[in-house]
Structure 1
Amino acid sequence: MSNSPALARRLGTFDASLIGLGSMIGAGVFAAFTPAAAAAGSGLLVGLVVAACVAFCNATSSAQLAAAYPTSGGTYVYGRERLGPWPGFLAGWGFVIGKTASAAAMAMTFAAYAAPQGWERPVAIAAVVVLTAVNYHGVTRTAGLTRILVVGVLAALAIAVAAVWGGSGPDVGTMAGEGLVASGWYGILQSAGLLFFAFAGYARIATMGEEVRAPRRTIPRAISIALGITIVIYAVIAVTLLAALGPAGVAETPTPLADAVSAGSMSWATPVVRAGAAIASLGALLALIAGLGRTSLAMAREHDLPNWLAAVHPRYKVPHRAEITLAVVICVIVALADLRGAIGFSSFGVLLYYLVANIAAYTQPAHDRRYPKALQITGALACVALVATLPPLSVGLGVLMFAVGIVYRLLRLRAAR
């Protein structure tokens, strides 16, 4: 282990829950339903249930592991401790690569709602720079801004749902489209894999375990609270979108919630919804940058990333070099990638990350066990199934990036010898 300074424990249950909630709401409500509807039509409702069940299994594994290993790095650390250096490295690599793409997706989602046409990419890059600066000044600043963003998002979502169902209300008959299973189970599972992208924000709580007070109690509690609230919100929004736009309408627009409000008799609320979407995306991006910095810090401490990234700022107690480096990479992805590709690629990396988490949790001894092993077995098998049903391009790029990571580590080990 590296002798780099430790991070400060400053987060309680409330702030930790908000960081997870801010990650999940921003990631899913305004970005993931469009590709899910394209894959499964109204079957995305079934996909949402599947994704929620997989997320619950994975969340219990993460909570059980985080209580035993309350340090920065999440499943990278758990994989190393329970399974060995290689599984830990693959989990950490999957998280860093997948969540870097996810951060780019959140920046692009923010710009889709907030930027003038033609200025989306510059505005997205500016958002990354500003939020990296907030994270740089300490985790309490991150938690404080997240608190404000989450309140704004929940208010905007409440207004959106009220606007869609108010007045004459949507035509509920459009919700089912051609039927829940018209796209087949492959399409439904693909939608589940894409929607899983939206639930994965609870990992941010575990990756920040070194900054949580009373981690054995706080982390499991915060993960459960954040995931439970998010599942309810997603279910309400999914039904609202399908009722207002129909499956085809949701699949065709990058801004489905704003379009759903515009289509109703209370279109005056559309600017509020667009503002809420922008705020949600900023909240998710803020938490993503924080989580990525902590996992990169843990990997750098073990020399699985350049040791230069293991530095902790002497005043603000954050992994400042890791966060700045990741911000540069995120900006490059924003400049070159598209939203749907970023979501699929992110899901690939994060599902493999949770595969390692489930296997690691399965190996824990009885005194560290909080949940039955059946949940870890179910979670691991579901991760493999959802990876197999992701869009082929996302799978291909994911395999390529993991191959790059394996080659990188082999070369580093050879150089060390």
Structure 2
Amino acid sequence: MAQAIPGPAPLQRRLGVVDSTAIGLGSMLGAGVFVVFSPAAALAGPWLLVAVAVAGVVAYCNAVASAQLAARYPSSGGTYVYGRQRLGEWPGFLAGWGFVTGKTASCAAMALTFGHYVAPGLATPLAVAAVVVLTGVNLLGITRTALVTKILLAVVLATLALVAVAAAAGPHAGGFTVIDAGGGLGDDSAWGVLPAAGLIFFAFAGYARIATLGEEVKDPATTIPRAILGALGGAFVIYLGLAALLQWQLPAGQLARSTAPLLDAVAASPLHGFAPVVQFGSAAACLGALLALITGVGRT
């Protein structure tokens, strides 16, 4: 009589609220926080804070749904599991492969962004090295992944705190003029709020990593909703505060056209000597987001 082939062993539940929140927040404070305010300001102008608020509300609605699904189906795979359980095998299959395909492209983009921050001439080799090293961290287990994530997150939070202090201490030169798509100064129309909010929303999307790790979370019915909402709330406060400070300090045209608005804020302040710290923090943010992406793709 043939013996049944055993299925894969279940993953161990080792993530508490703090670790889960750190993974979600580390995903949301990736490279996007260092660049997203410029294109968003170019679209929304004086309504930038409104755009951040709109993105936060939309992200909250999606996060609540993700938290409920992850608590109901606390297994690795995220959208693949939910689609399969609620809609059937093919919707689950398409959702899972859609996630893997999209996030694999995101991994490549984030790794290359890290390479360009560190050494533009060696961007591709550095990107490959980052993927290999962080994949190794992922293979060591979720506790090692959470530890490295918390270290990188601490570096990023310290960098953002430096930017906030620099922007507050710098000269007030901010303006409230909309920059139109052609690069000229436009009117004060609020039509740019929604496309700006769409850009900012992508920066909030990292809370989904917590749901993808549902099989490794302790007491998922309680931990997952707390971690998702906690990470989203923390990211929202940080994004809103930085947007307000950047608008207060930088002229509207400079903010809208900058390729590195947080670096510009430090460079224009009495703390301009700390500009290399911002570049280091940007690289750390890329690695944190990349690690979360690799972790999510591996679980799916």
Q: Which amino acid aligns with 1:125?
A: V
Please state how far the C-alpha of 1:247 moved relative to its aligned partner.
4.0
Cα distance in structure 2, aligned partners of 1:241 and 1:109: 22
For the aligned residue pairs, the C-alpha RMSD in angstroms reads 2.3
Contact 1:71 1:209 survives alignment (8 Å): yes
Does the residue aligned with 1:17 lie in a helix, a strand or coil? Answer: helix
Q: Quick one: which of 148, 151, 155 aligns to 1:148? A: 151
- CA distance change for structure 1 residues 178 and 99 in 2, over 3 Å: closer, same or farther? same
- CA distance change for structure 1 residues 5 and 27 in 2, over 3 Å: closer, same or farther? farther
Alpha-carbon displacement from aligned partner over 1:89-133 (angstroms, at most 9, x marks no partner): 333233222222322332233234322x42333322322222111
- CA distance change for structure 1 residues 250 and 87 in 2, over 3 Å: closer, same or farther? farther
- CA distance change for structure 1 residues 13 and 179 in 2, over 3 Å: closer, same or farther? same
Does the residue aligned with 1:72 lie in a helix, a strand or coil? Answer: coil
Alpha-carbon displacement from aligned partner over 1:38-75 (angstroms, at most 9, x marks no partner): 44344443222111111000000011111110000112
Contact 2:28 2:207 survives alignment (8 Å): yes
- CA distance change for structure 1 residues 188 and 98 in 2, over 3 Å: closer, same or farther? farther
Contact 1:261 1:269 survives alignment (8 Å): yes
2:7 corresponds to? 3
- CA distance change for structure 1 residues 238 and 281 in 2, over 3 Å: closer, same or farther? same
Contact 2:77 2:299 survives alignment (8 Å): yes
Q: Quick one: which of 143, 166, 170 aligns to 1:163? A: 166
Is residue 191 of structure 2 the alignment partner of residue 189 of structure 1? no
- CA distance change for structure 1 residues 23 and 101 in 2, over 3 Å: closer, same or farther? same
1:347 corresponds to? none
Cα distance in structure 2, aligned partners of 1:170 and 1:139: 45
Contact 1:30 1:109 survives alignment (8 Å): no
Give TM-score scaled by structure 2 length: 0.88
- CA distance change for structure 1 residues 96 and 193 in 2, over 3 Å: closer, same or farther? farther
Cα distance in structure 1, aligned partners of 2:215 and 2:124: 34
Does the residue aligned with 1:8 lie in a helix, a strand or coil? Answer: coil
Does the residue aligned with 2:269 lie in a helix, a strand or coil? Answer: coil
Is residue 287 of structure 2 the alignment partner of residue 285 of structure 1? no
1:33 corresponds to? 37
Cα distance in structure 1, aligned partners of 2:101 and 2:241: 31
Does the residue aligned with 1:10 lie in a helix, a strand or coil? Answer: coil
Gaps of 5+ in 1: 296-417
Q: Quick one: which of 92, 112, 131 aligns to 1:88? A: 92
- CA distance change for structure 1 residues 90 and 77 in 2, over 3 Å: closer, same or farther? same
Contact 2:213 2:296 survives alignment (8 Å): yes
Contact 1:99 1:288 survives alignment (8 Å): yes
- CA distance change for structure 1 residues 178 and 254 in 2, over 3 Å: closer, same or farther? closer
1:177 corresponds to? 177
Contact 2:43 2:178 survives alignment (8 Å): no
Please state how far the C-alpha of 1:182 moved relative to its aligned partner.
4.4
1:126 corresponds to? 129
Gaps of 5+ in 2: 1-5, 181-185
Does the residue aligned with 2:251 lie in a helix, a strand or coil? Answer: helix
Contact 2:211 2:224 survives alignment (8 Å): yes
Q: Looking at both structures, which has the greater relative contact order when contacts are Cα pairs under 8 Å and sequence separation is at least 6?
A: 2
Please state how far the C-alpha of 1:216 moved relative to its aligned partner.
0.9
Q: Percent identity, please.
A: 57
Cα distance in structure 2, aligned partners of 1:162 and 1:266: 9
Contact 1:39 1:188 survives alignment (8 Å): yes
1:259 corresponds to? 264
Is residue 214 of structure 2 the alignment partner of residue 209 of structure 1? yes
Greater shift after overlay, 4-13 or 135-144? 4-13
- CA distance change for structure 1 residues 271 and 110 in 2, over 3 Å: closer, same or farther? same
- CA distance change for structure 1 residues 169 and 185 in 2, over 3 Å: closer, same or farther? closer
- CA distance change for structure 1 residues 140 and 164 in 2, over 3 Å: closer, same or farther? same
Alpha-carbon displacement from aligned partner over 1:128-179 (angstroms, at most 9, x marks no partner): 222111112111110011111111111111111111221x43313x2x2238
Does the residue aligned with 1:30 lie in a helix, a strand or coil? Answer: helix
Please state how far the C-alpha of 1:186 moved relative to its aligned partner.
5.4
Work out the number of aligned pairs and report it: 290
- CA distance change for structure 1 residues 103 and 86 in 2, over 3 Å: closer, same or farther? same
Give TM-score scaled by structure 1 length: 0.65
Contact 2:112 2:127 survives alignment (8 Å): yes
Q: Which amino acid aligns with 2:131?
A: V
Q: Quick one: which of 230, 251, 258 aligns to 1:225? A: 230
